[in-house]
Structure 1
Amino acid sequence: MKSACYPLALLLIISMPVSAQELPANGLTSPPHQDNKALETASLQELPGMATDQSPLQVELPPVDASILNPPPQQAATSVAPQTLQVKPGINELMPIAVGHLNRLVTPFDNPVVTTTSQATTSTKGKIVYVATADETPVTLYITPGDNQDIALSLTLIPKRIPAREIHLSLDQETYKRLMQWQRQTKDSSDKPTNQEQDYITTLKQLFRDLGLQKTPAGFSLRDPSQSEQIQCHQDRLRIHTGQLLEGQDLLIFVGVARNTGVVPIEFDERACASTQEEVLAVAAWPKVVLGPGESTELYVAVRRKDEAAIMVRPSLLNGRMP
């Protein structure tokens, strides 16, 4: 039995490693040997896969004061924005303007008038008042709407070394209502005479046109003139004969014939008839103005009817018999 065990033990001893260098540190069989370059290549190939498998990192920022998030203050502006200033008559307003530059004041008046004793230069264009001064002496001025002195804006302009300024002047509600009422009255009074005059001229033209067409104008009655109702025109070599008289409510129209008694052509001058009577309103000749020797033309003269002529005489009841 003992002789059989010796060969088996000898075989086991021969098959074991000869030195301790061939044994792994943990006593286990070592893996196949690989060089360092192959290991580095394998490690680099595994890194991308590892990075994609991990979830993104979440970073929590600490709270920040709101004042830090505000934008930094801008630099001082190099221009001056337009300014709107409410002014009231009787109260002097101070306002800065640019020295050496043209300043623009936008007023609420249609036709502003500037009154000042300053050496500053002022000019107006529509509602705008332009002011320019060469030094820093204050400029005091009054701005009124035309000739109306009841609404006067008192301003004292302080010249400073700033860019040119544009200042819009506005009125308080009460003053604005007064201004609108005054402007409406001024417009009505200025337009009324113009409209009346234009209507009057149109009426006279239509009357003369009807006479030229041998028509009796509406509202007029035709009769023969008296000895005192004659056309008076003073022009050399021109003879005038008055033949008809048309009576209207406010007008009298004389119709006559003008004849050239000279040997050369003459041109009829309407002013020769208008200068003799103050009540003459219009004069016209038809169909000719230039008359040859012996030629004639009709003459129309419109005059304002006198008050005495428009009064009708009322017979007295005392002179008659009562019923």
Structure 2
Amino acid sequence: MNKAFAVVVCLYCSFTLAAAPVKLKVSPGQQQPVTLSRLHLNRIVTPFSAPQIRTIDQADIRIEGSVIYLSSQQEEPFVVYITPHDSEAHALSLLVTLLDVPPKEIQLSLSKQWQQKMNRNKEAAKRFEEAGDYQQSITELLSMLVKGQVPEGYELEKFYKADIRHCQQDGLTFDFSKGQVVQGHYFRVLVGTARNATEKPLTFHEKNCQGSHTTAVAMWPKNTLHPGQRRELFILLNTPDQESAPVVRPSLLTY
């Protein structure tokens, strides 16, 4: 056989035998086992526009758009949780095993059951928020939350460090380490606590918890805290639909 021809044949064989992307449909509450390369960078394509990833493994992780690049030398299998950037209610759970194999590409998609559930929740939350005018919806939402109720379609989630909105007021300490996130369609509520660390009564001022998307701030049951007293704090954020949200021009007077 001609050597040049043999080389071409060999290269062609190597190309055709390269691992094809692995396509997986995932469902909530189910852990999906996957095999990745220990020797190379792996590529995980997610159904989320800006995914977040959480794992106890000391993996090298980079996120580009909807794609996660992951490499690791971990000997034992480990779990990876992947969530959308705006919700922790549902997570894709992968049980990763690393082998000495070529680099892998995993393409994840949501099961039909999961998509339907998420769509139903979004529609129910949207109906609740659009049932009255804007101010009425905010008042009703906060009123339900202070009573320990969650509106239909809303998701109650754990509070992660990335979600913290800094509140600052002399004499008060704000704690979101065990906080909650209540996610709706247009609204998202962060729940934490405030404590009076002084030896005199203090009045909390809502303006001390402002951010670019902050719509309302409330303390329950009152804004006044006695020495050592703790109260729940609610920060309501407006998270408009990305496709229909108008572009907002910031005033030059705010700088």
* Higher normalized helix content (fraction of residues): 1
Q: TM-score under structure 2 normalisation?
A: 0.43
- Structure ranking higher on relative contact order (CA contacts 8 Å, 6+ apart): 2
Larger Rg: 1
